[in-house]
Amino acid sequence: MARTYHHLVGGKQLASDHTFESRSSSNRADVIGTFPEASKEQVREACVIARNGFRVWSKTPAPIRGELIASIGRALEREKEPLSRLITREMGKTLKEARGSVQEAIDTCNFFQSEGRRLYGQTVPSEMLNKELTTYRRPLGVVGIVTAGNFPIAVPSWKIIPALLTGNSIVWKPSEDAPAVAYAFAKLIEEAGLPGGVLNVVFGAGRGSAGQYLIEMMDEGLLDKFAFTGSTAVGRQVGEVAGRNLIRPTLELGGKNPMVVMRDADLENAVTGSIWASFGTAGQRCTSAGNLIIDAPIFDAFKEAFVAAAAEIRIGDPVRYEDVLYGPFINERFFGRWSSHYQWAEEDGATLLYGEGQITDDSKPPGWLGDPNAGFYGWPTIWQDVTPDMRQFKHEIFGPTINLVKVDGIDEAISVANAVDFGLSSAIYTNNREWAYRFKSEIEAGMTSINNSTSGAEAHMPFGGIKGSGNGTRESGIWVIDTYTYWQGVNDDVSGRLQLAQMETAYVEPGELVSVESLFEGSS
Ligand code: UN1
């Protein structure tokens, strides 16, 4: 019998009438736990409790908050292995990647623990004597957070850790696809000693459930900030509700990330990078490559090497086989969305180079391991003759699929790379300095790699996109601090009288007018 878990609200466990199960992505018979589905009333209650948590937490000195972040990092380090195994079991990424994503959360703690001893403001000179100007970062209040299932610990940590460090309280609705990992993360944060009510976790789904209710709490005036990772469509809704409540949301949305391979590239390196960017995590990263844009003179050579490499990919249950490149879809919903693009390709006229859709008993790629019926698995899928007007070129597919698009030269490569409504990540393989320079300056994307994968951003760099990939907010590093704080400018007048800015600033009288010509008249 799988255990039943509860919401974590106000430092207490809270049950719901409705529940749902979390099952292993690679073995649908394996039930990890039963989780509650929050009612609107419960989400509201969590927000009200978080307000009390904010009062306590915002008054805790920032260096002490930093110490607590350090404790969370140590707890994550201690539990790294079981936590990584839980990620692999629940969501289906490989153990190597799961360890990497726990490490990403640890790195985030390492970065922010000492930020508690900085969190600098400025001292600024005043126009007037006996008056001091200073600036302070202040926390925003209660933050609503909704996260996706593909990065169940790294991406939540990008939000939760800096939000806590800067003194905010939180109501977090983790993905219904990975609630067990979220529960474990929240318990480790609790262990570090966070006061009750500062981090509140409510479980449930999105539309018509806890996620939607949490968004609606902005309209009830119960939230001061919202941070969301997920689809562009839901991101727009969050942005609309936030906008009418004058809240600046953090929106990390979809991607259709271009990867360009130029004629001078190191072909072997480019093929290895393209295989990883396209098929790693079964393509279920918002930073996965979406279109491979290949320079005409090397198109055929690249294609041949790439298809040969795809045929060697090991795929299977990552719980049983540690060395697979990728495992299952998170669940049937993700699988269904991916498999429908085969239909698009047929209707829009793309040519299938490699792949046979779902992996089944009768259709297994050469590197397959295990029982294909235990989860939902997809063939590595490669298309050619793809053009920018096709749906599979434009839309995020979120699965192990890639389009080969032929271009001629750097100008066409950049314009095709920019021909999508997204702008999250991007990459170019070239050793030509001018082409690399042009790409990084002309590509419309928040993140760019030169001779590396579109995925794999480090935890102290600004993460985020432009165009349909977000609203320009950034996570991670020093940049995220601006999104969880507001600036307060303070002027402190010790003159004992009313000094008027702009009006009483005549400390210096101008001297006589100087004409350089007249200074030297008659001196030749
Ligand atoms: C995501 O898929 O939502 O850059 C985040 C990367 C990871 C994070 C991906 N560090 O691929």
Distance 285 CA to ligand 1 centre (A): 6
How far is it, in rounded angstroms, from Cα 162 to Cα 66?
A: 10
400 shares a domain with 296: yes
In a domain, 398, yes or no: yes
398: closest CA among 281, 242, 246, 496? Answer: 281
Q: Which residues of the chain have pLDDT under 70?
A: 524
Q: Which atom of ligand 1 is nearest to the CA of 288?
A: 11
CB 450 within 8 Å of CB 280: no
Please tell me the distance between residue 149's alpha carbon and the centre of ligand 1 in angstroms: 12
- Does residue 171 share a domain with residue 34? yes
Domain membership of residue 186 (yes or no) is yes
218 and 172 within one domain: yes
Q: What is the pLDDT of residue 183?
A: 98
User: Based on the domain organization, do 267 and 173 belong to the same domain?
Assistant: no
Domain ranges, residue 327: 257-459
> In sequence order, what E strands does 147-279 have?
169-173, 199-201, 225-229, 250-252, 257-261
- What is the number of the ligand 1 atom nearest to the C-alpha of 463? 4
Tell me which long-range contacts 511-517 makes (C-beta under 8 A, separation of at least 24): none
pLDDT score recorded for residue 1: 74
Does 129 map to a domain? Answer: yes
CATH number at residue 365: 3.40.309.10
Cα–Cα dist 352/336, whole Å? 19
Instruction: Tell me how far the alpha carbon of residue 104 lies from the centroid of ligand 1, in angstroms.
Output: 10
* Cβ atoms of 14 and 48 closer than 8 Å: no
The reply to whether 252 belongs to the active site is: yes
C-alpha separations of 127 from 130, 221, 409, 507 in Å = 10, 38, 56, 9
Q: Are residues 212 and 296 in the same domain?
A: no
Place of tokens 């106000």: 10
Identify the CA nearest to 476 among candidates 497, 492, 449, 457: 457
Q: Is residue 522 part of a domain?
A: no
Mutate which of 93, 231, 287 to test ligand 1's pocket (most atoms within 8 Å of Cβ)?
Answer: 287
Task: Choose the catalytic residue: 45, 104, 115, 252.
Answer: 252
CATH number of the domain to which 26 belongs: 3.40.605.10
Give the pLDDT confidence score for residue 523 in this predicted structure.
Answer: 76
> In 3-state terms, what secondary structure has residue 82?
helix
| CA angle (460 as vertex; 459, 463 as ends), nearest 5 | 70
Q: Which amino acid is at 407?
A: V
The vertex-214 CA angle with 481 and 108, nearest 5°, equals: 30
CB of 157 closer than 6 A to ligand 1?
Answer: no
The answer to whether residues 114 and 59 belong to one domain is yes
Within a domain: 289:
yes
> Which ranges of 323-365 does DSSP label H, i.e. alpha helix?
332-348
Task: Enumerate residues 6+ apart whose C-beta is below 8 A from 113.
Answer: 66, 67, 69, 70, 73
8 Å CB contact between 140 and 170: no
**Same domain, residue pair 45 and 81:** yes
DSSP 8-state code for residue 194? P
Domain count, the chain: 2
- Does 467 map to a domain? no
Asked about 286 being catalytic, the answer comes back as yes
Same domain for 40 and 168, yes or no, is yes
Statement: the pTM of the whole predicted model exceeds 0.85 = yes
Residues 320 and 379 both lie in one domain: yes
For the segment 97-112, what is each residue's pLDDT rounded down to a tens digit? 999 999 999 999 999 9
Q: Is the CB of 462 under 6 A from ligand 1?
A: no
Using CA atoms, how far apart are residues 489 and 136, in angstroms rounded to an integer? Answer: 7
Short-list 150, 207, 213, CA closest to 182: 150
* Dist CA 511 CA 472 (whole Å): 49
213-242 pLDDT, tens digit per residue, is 999 999 999 999 999 999 999 999 999 999
Tokens of 289: 């490559």
Q: Does residue 336 share a domain with residue 245?
A: no
Active-site hit among 90, 286, 396, 475: 286
pLDDT given for residue 522 in this prediction: 87
Candidate of 250, 426, 463, 474 to mutate for ligand 1, largest count of ligand atoms within 8 Å of Cβ: 463
